[in-house]
Amino acid sequence: MDKPTLAVIIPCFNEELCIKHTAEILLKLLDELSSKEKINKNSYLYLVDDGSKDNTWNIIEGLHNNDKRVKGLKFIRNFGNQKALIAGLEGARYIGCDCAVSIDADLQQDEKAIEKFIDEYINGADIVCGIRNDRKTDSFFKKITAVAFYKTMNILGAKIPPNHSDYRLVSKKALDIMELYPEKYLFLRGFFNELGLKTAYVKFDVKPRTAGESKFNFMSLMTLALNGITSYSVVPLRFVAVLGFFMAFFGFLVGLETAAEKIFWHNSPNGWATAIILLCIFGGIQLFCLGLIGEYVGQVFQEVKARPRYIKDKELK
């Protein structure tokens, strides 16, 4: 097999503090890998500026002028990390590559694992998922929410590997398949896992952020998690139906009991408390189910509008 051309995709949102350092380290890594004859000299970095408000794009332009192996794409506004990754993968497929690795701009994911990714790729894997060794660098809150998310996803039937963030290698074959999926809210972790392509796993260490702050807040993580669930599982919809059935059955029994009390024991004014409790329970359950259904209606709404996933502003090839 010829040495593969590797594209390293880096989503950047307001990353002026780390992007230069990150690009230098990754370019050095490309040199190292090509001198070890693992990758082709045409391998490149592809930085996707997700509508940064700071100096990120100017820095990317500067890097591109110094070294044409740094390529870039700028979104017209912030579209979110998943869209930046998708644009990176689509762009790399268009520019040309045999495999693409996505990695965060803050280099929290140990870049040395890329060599192991390539080894797995050469051994025939089409997808190589980076699995983090631990969550030492995460806050307590992020730790528990992440564990809850992966557990929920697994229970709901969307089998995504736990502790796999979007640090992975995908082959050209996987990128070609991605083109067949027009859905706007493609959840990459779920998508690459369900393709059935040969997948390998590589463990890596998580480091603290090189500079700057996390670009995710509670709301953006919630959105990502809900999108992951609603785009990969309809189990919650079924759960609503089953819950509705049992609640109706329960209501029927309570109704029978109330009727019996009225007819045989004539003490119907009692039960004020019961009425209130039931009112609350049913009110709550109905609202919950409505909200859940709303999530799916929202998904349908987003998809049916068929808006573009992202809008490009500038490109450096």
Which spans of this chain sit near ligand UDP (rule: CB under 6 A)? 11-13, 15, 50, 78, 80-81, 84, 104-106, 108, 214-216
Residue 55 or residue 210: which is nearer to Mg ion going by CB? Answer: 210
With CB under 5 to 8 Å by kind, the binding choice for 201 among ligand UDP, Mg ion, none is: none
CB of 143 to ligand UDP, least distance (A): 12
- Short-list 123, 132, 133, 118, CA closest to 170: 118
> How near is the Cβ of 233 to ligand UDP at its closest, in Å?
23
- Least Å distance, CB 205 to ligand UDP, is 14
Q: How far is the CB of 224 from ligand UDP (least distance, A)?
A: 10
Q: Which is nearer to Mg ion, 116 or 207 (CB)?
A: 207
Q: Of ligand UDP, Mg ion, none, which one does residue 215 interact with (CB within 5 to 8 Å by kind)?
A: ligand UDP
User: What is the nearest approach in angstroms of ligand UDP to the Cβ of residue 99?
Assistant: 20
Size of site (CB under 5 A) for Mg ion: 3
Cα 226 to Cα 185: distance, rounded to the nearest angstrom? 11
The span from the CA of 92 to the CA of 191, in Å, is 18
- Crossing angle for the helix pair 113-122 and 19-35, to the nearest 10 degrees: 40
Among 15, 106, 110, 120, binds Mg ion (CB under 5 A): 106
**229: nearest Cα among 187, 265, 260, 261:** 187
d(CA 293, CA 183): 19
The answer to whether residue 111 forms part of the interface with Mg ion (CB under 5 A) is no
Gap between the Cα atoms of 264 and 143, Å rounded? 56
| 161, 131 contact by CB (below 8 A) | yes
* Residue 108 within binding range of Mg ion, rule CB under 5 A: yes
Per-residue tokens: 301: 């709404």
DSSP code per residue over 179-214:
TT---TT--HHHHHHHS---EEEEEE-B---SSS--
109 touching Mg ion, by CB under 5 A: no
The item of Mg ion, ligand UDP, none sharing an interface with residue 105, based on CB under 5 to 8 Å by kind, is ligand UDP
* Binding site residues, Mg ion, CB under 5 A: 104, 106, 108
